[in-house]
Chain A
Amino acid sequence: MSQYQNFDENHFWELWSDFLEGELDDTGLAELQHRITSDEHLLKMAADSFELHRLLGLNAAEEPEQRESFIRQTMSLLPQERQGFVQSVMRGIQPAAEERAGSSPVRQRRKMWQAVSLALLTVAGGIGLMFLLWPKSTNIAKITGLSGSVLWTGDGGLVDHNLALGSRLGGGTLEGLGPNAWVELTFDDQSKVTLSGKGLLTFSAQERKQLYLREGNMTADIAPQPDGKALLIHTRSAELEVLGTRFSVEAEMASTTLNVNHGSVRVRRLTDGQQVDVPAQHLLVTSAETQLVPEKVPDFTDRWQSNLALGPIDTLGNWVPATAQSAARLRAIPFVYKPPGSGTEERSMTLYLAALPVSQGDKQPVVLRSESEFRIVGSLKAPCKLYFGFQVHRTDGQFAGKFLAEQAIPADSSDDLERFEIVLPIGDFQLDPSLANLKDRLPASPVGLVVSGCWCFTLTSQDLELQQVSLTPAP
């Protein structure tokens, strides 16, 4: 029986509190939905409470330093050149109907070029003047690696699902939509930044490069920057100043984990302004509670085991707590996968996916050996094909690929749900098909690489639940 069944009117607050704290499970959410659907008074109370909750959060961020940080970030996101010039020329020559009609960003850009060119030629009477008047390009970086579902928002709010290798971008936001997302950005000075998995990264380059990692994992290989113009990386809890080095950053709501491979990075904690230099082969976790002291990067391990009993920590899926009858588990959720550059909705597909982090934060990095094998324990409602994948990075933090294996789960009539336990030796894995266009740049085998995270999915809804995933050397 659900923990939320049979509760009386007064227990609404408990349900609602769990919702606000992100601790409401599926059953609770359905119960909450039912309660507020059937009682207008409760709906109003919930909406009032939610508004107040949001205002309290905003009030907590009202410190002058945080407001200044917001203003600085906003100013650095502004494009170098306003679009007003281009727009005003376009408005003069584009029929209103055409302006209203929806068209793809690529077509819009092409039209804009044609329109602006025509207008300038008309006004100036020659191509020479066009070059004199043409606004400077705001593109500052290029997509040099791409896999999984990645969304780009730029050009004052244009959303683009169709990034492709070689796309040139101005300032804007890259969003990794799932655990298998990966995108590499190369700036004009050859500095490289990659965003792996689910995450949000905004970048701009005004007087200096600035990156805003709201959540997720990022690695960077930064070319030496000009004096006084160090690259700045902002997270919710810290500001990182980088002159030229190689490192990885993991940003969560209240903490930032920095792992420096080469050079050094200066970190300032936003809550108290304390700062510290993190040297090579050291890591630092900045959160309000921790001491700001870099620690040596821990040694590698070749063993790992998920621990879902601790809760849904950086997992993707619906977490189900342990009960007297069963262990905690992670239920797959529908995940719409849209291959990069697919353009149309037709090519998107729905995966039923659950994902877990492996080498994370200040924990020991988990490295793969040739004799390593994954053991996956879970359940399905019916026999089907199961896919298991993982992402790896090099020991210096740079992305090194994604690997995938598949396994048919046979029927077992002993249960309503098909419990399965499979073992996948590392030799069964192949480079993820989504990385086919990068295979020459990536290692053919994951042996010797560090596992960032893993995921498991089916292609149809089969109530996939993971109970445990582990990695050990074969006996």
Chain B
Amino acid sequence: MRDRNTEPTNHIDRAIQRTRSGDHDAFEIVVREYERGLRAWLAMQSPPGVDVDEVAQRSFVAAFTRLDDYRLGTSFSAWLFAIARYQLKTETTRLRRVADYHARYAPDLLQKELDRRANESPELGRLRLDHLQHCLHGLSEKLQLYIRWRYDEQISLDEMSQRSGRSVAAVKKQLWQIRQQLHACVENRLKAAGESP
């Protein structure tokens, strides 16, 4: 008879059991389930200069190699995010040791503030990303265009200036305002849904 405590309680635990039994590909189920939330959480907690996708991948690899340490029936999400927190800490420590890191990327205080926020619930990252997508739809067509230029096409501010017929300074200010507007929208939606930190 199987021990009730080790009985898979959901599809993730089943995938983990299959992985432990040697079915390497079953781990893809785990990656699919958590990649979005993990990347969102890392995106929010990582200081400038950190490659979020790389830390996310290292976290999955570390989880895979230590899979026997995970206790079935407990929260895999909490376990995975604890690994990710450690991986992020390792990466930020490594970056701090790079001679010109602070000069190139991060004012100390900003990094400390982001570190402080790293204690927020991992779930908030995914929720913020969901709300952000709603908020983006709420922007006017014109403002959405700025976001597309900056983040999808990744064009320079000079090119945005040429395309929009506005000065570079005006483009900078527009992007600043859009980010503020989106931040307020996301926080309001979190509050309305009772999901605020």
- Contacts from A to B (Cβ < 8 Å): 13-14, 16-18, 21, 26, 29, 32-33, 36-37, 43-60, 62, 67, 70-71, 73-75, 77-80, 82-84, 87-88, 151, 153, 155-157, 159, 173, 177, 200, 202, 214, 253-254, 288, 318, 333-336, 350
Contact = CB atoms under 8 A, between A and B. Distances in A.
A78 B68 contact: no
B128 A253 contact: no
Nearest to A54: B43
B40 A58 contact: yes
Main secondary structure, interface of B, reads: helix
A462 to B, nearest CB: 16
A70 B44 CA distance: 18
B195 interface: no
Contacts of A18: 172
Nearest to A316: B100
Nearest to B136: A59
Given A47-B117, A77-B61, A214-B54, 18 more contacts: A13-B176, A21-B172, A33-B107, A36-B110, A37-B109, A46-B110, A46-B113, A47-B110, A53-B179, A55-B128, A56-B147, A71-B28, A77-B57, A82-B64, A156-B66, A157-B62, A159-B90, A173-B54
Contacts of B92: none
Contacts of B132: 52, 55-56, 59
B58 A54 contact: no
B151 A60 contact: yes
Contacts of B69: 87
B65 A50 contact: no
Contact of B35 (A17, A67, A153, A333): A67
B102 to A, nearest CB: 8
A13 to B, nearest CB: 4
Interface in B116-144: 117, 128-129, 132-133, 136
Interface residues on B, range: 35 or more
Contact of A50 (B48, B99, B133, B176): B48
Interface string B59-85: 011101111110000000000000000
Interface string B152-185: 1110010000000000010011011101101100
B183 A49 contact: yes
A52 B43 CA distance: 9
Q: Which of B35, B103, B153 has the most CB of A within 10 A?
A: B103
28 contacts: A13-B172, A13-B176, A13-B177, A17-B173, A21-B157, A33-B107, A49-B180, A49-B183, A51-B183, A52-B132, A52-B182, A55-B128, A56-B150, A57-B151, A62-B133, A71-B31, A75-B28, A79-B64, A83-B65, A84-B66, A88-B68, A157-B62, A159-B90, A254-B154, A288-B154, A318-B100, A333-B100, A336-B97
Given A13-B172, A78-B24, A84-B67, A156 B114 contact: no
B129 A59 contact: yes
The 10 closest A-B pairs by CB, nearest first: A84-B68, A17-B172, A156-B65, A13-B176, A60-B151, A54-B43, A33-B107, A333-B100, A334-B99, A47-B113
B68 A58 contact: no
B20 to A, nearest CB: 7
B36 interface: yes
Contacts of A59: 129, 132-133, 136, 151
Q: Which of A75, A202, A350 has the most CB of B within 10 A?
A: A75
B17 interface: no
Nearest to A287: B154
A211 B57 CA distance: 14
Contacts of A200: 51, 54
